[in-house]
Amino acid sequence: MEALPASLSQILSTLLAILVGVGGIVLLYVVMDFLVGFLPDKVQQRVRPWVYVGPLLIILAFYLVYPTLNTIYLSFLDKRSESFVGLKNYIFTFTNPAMRVALRNNILWLVLLTAFSVGMGLVIAVLANRVRYEAVVKSFIFLPLAISFVGAGVIWRFVYAFKPGDVAQIGLLNAALVNLGLEPIGWFVEKSLNNFALIAVGVWLQTGFCMVVLSAAIKNIPVEVIEAARIDGANGWQVFWRVTVPMISSTIAVVATTVIIGALKAFDIVFVLTNGNRDTEVLANRMYKEMFVWRNTGRASAIAVILLLAVIPIMAANIRRFRAQEAMR
């Protein structure tokens, strides 16, 4: 137990850091506000707001705005950011065979992860809404959301575990296959299956999120609307497609957008489970490799810029929606 004093000092330093961090931040604002108090009244009114938003703006400028602009610039430079290469890095990302696999896989992730997470989330939300043990069902579906992608990776490595030959399978899926009289499958090796196996992990993680948000929207549909449809003779299926889905369509759009952004940036699951081997590469993992394995800053930056370009429509939609909300206030 020699580790104990070390951890004890670490606990103390953590506590100290929290105190200094939290206290320091609050103190910073209080002191700045106090100092502004010495200025003439008119100046005070002009300066004080900047005391409150200033730290935010400085942090955002340093951590988001400057690096974003810099990455765009770097994407036009070579490996070591020494000379200008024009569009060479972008041409590489769209022509190199390995990169094209990554692009294809990201599209697969985008379409399948979104379709299945939103679809399953919607179905479970609608079904659970009709039973008394709704809260229990939702808790269990929702639970993976609290788990890290890395943790989920371990869980699913074990589900997909494969032992070649005629031995007892310890992975759930292969044991099920063998029980049904089929051959066990190397889920991460089989090129026709491995991407789907990875995306399934994502669906397992994301469905809970979709379900919770959609369930809240479903509960906001006025009861009278559903009843009116029922009186008009609509069955459960028709109510679902003609009433429920149209009435929560904007929520479905928001949820789908969030999942799409997640799919674009998919990294942890691939990094932990296959590291992109056997045609399972995705853009974010490839970028990590370009950055740390091959040390090619230009290409890594170009991949990041492609991710940014992909979210720009979403960014524009968010801003438009925000403006509309503000106009209504």
Partner 1 sequence: MSHSTKLMTSDRLRKILSSVPLHIVLIVITLLWTLPSVGLLVSSFRPRNDVFATGWWTVFQHPFDFTQYQLDNYISVLTTQGMARAFLNSLSIAIPSTVIPIAVAAFAAYAFAWMDFPGRQVLFVIVVGLLVVPLQMTLIPLLRVYNRLGLAGTFLGIWLAHTGYGLPFAVYLLRNFIGSLPRDLFESAYLDGASHLTAFFRLAFPLSIPAIASLAIFQFLWVWNDLLVALIYLGGTPDVAPLTIKLSGLVQSMGQDWQLLTAAAFVSMALPLVVFFSLQRYFVRGILAGSVKG
Q: Is 43 in the site for partner 1 (CB under 8 A)?
A: no
| Nearer residue to partner 1 within complex by CB, 6 or 180 | 6
Nearest to 243 by CA among 214, 222, 264: 222
Round to whole Å and give the CA distance between 280 and 201: 14
Nearest to 208 by CA among 124, 108, 114: 124
Round to whole Å and give the CA distance between 269 and 262: 12
State which of residues 113, 118, 125, 161 lies at the interface with partner 1 (CB under 8 A). Answer: 161
Tokens representing 114 are: 């979104």
Tokens representing 296 are: 């090619």
| Nearer residue to partner 1 within complex by CB, 84 or 322 | 322
Q: Which stretch binds partner 1 (CB under 8 A): 84-92, 103-111, 153-161, 183-191?
A: 153-161
Q: Is 323 in the site for partner 1 (CB under 8 A)?
A: yes
Round to whole Å and give the CA distance between 31 and 253: 45
Round to whole Å and give the CA distance between 284 and 265: 6
Q: Which helix (H) or strand (E) holds 209?
A: helix 194-219
For the window 247-266, what string marks contact with partner 1 as x by the rule CB under 8 A? -------xx-xx--x--xx-
Nearest to 265 by CA among 235, 236, 227, 308: 308
> Which neighbouring-strand residues pair with 77?
84
**Residue 325: CB minimum distance to partner 1, A:** 8
**Residue 292: CB minimum distance to partner 1, A:** 7
State which of residues 125, 271, 274, 280 lies at the interface with partner 1 (CB under 8 A). Answer: 271
SS3 assignment for 217-282: HHHCCCHHHHHHHHHCCCCHHHHHHHHHHHHCHHHHHHHHHHHHHHHHCCCHHHHHHCCCCCCCCC
State which of residues 149, 187, 195, 198 lies at the interface with partner 1 (CB under 8 A). Answer: 149
Q: Is 67 in the site for partner 1 (CB under 8 A)?
A: yes
Q: Is 39 in the site for partner 1 (CB under 8 A)?
A: no
**Residue 224: CB minimum distance to partner 1, A:** 22
DSSP sequence for 41-104: HHHHHHHHHHHHHHHHHHHHIIIIIHHHHHHHHHTTB-TTS-SB-TTHHHHHHHHSHHHHHHHH
Q: Is 117 in the site for partner 1 (CB under 8 A)?
A: no
State which of residues 104, 151, 189, 193 lies at the interface with partner 1 (CB under 8 A). Answer: 151
SS3 assignment for 296-310: CHHHHHHHHHHHHHH
Q: Is 77 in the site for partner 1 (CB under 8 A)?
A: no
Q: Is 59 in the site for partner 1 (CB under 8 A)?
A: yes
Q: Which stretch binds partner 1 (CB under 8 A): 92-100, 102-110, 188-196, 317-325?
A: 317-325
Q: Is 143 in the site for partner 1 (CB under 8 A)?
A: yes
State which of residues 91, 98, 150, 228 lies at the interface with partner 1 (CB under 8 A). Answer: 150
**Residue 318: CB minimum distance to partner 1, A:** 6
Tokens representing 158 are: 């074990």
State which of residues 84, 94, 294, 322 lies at the interface with partner 1 (CB under 8 A). Answer: 322
**Residue 96: CB minimum distance to partner 1, A:** 18
Sites for partner 1 among residues 188-247 (CB under 8 A) = 204, 207, 209, 212-213, 216
**Which residue, chain included where needed, has tokens 């809240």?**
216
Q: Is 124 in the site for partner 1 (CB under 8 A)?
A: yes
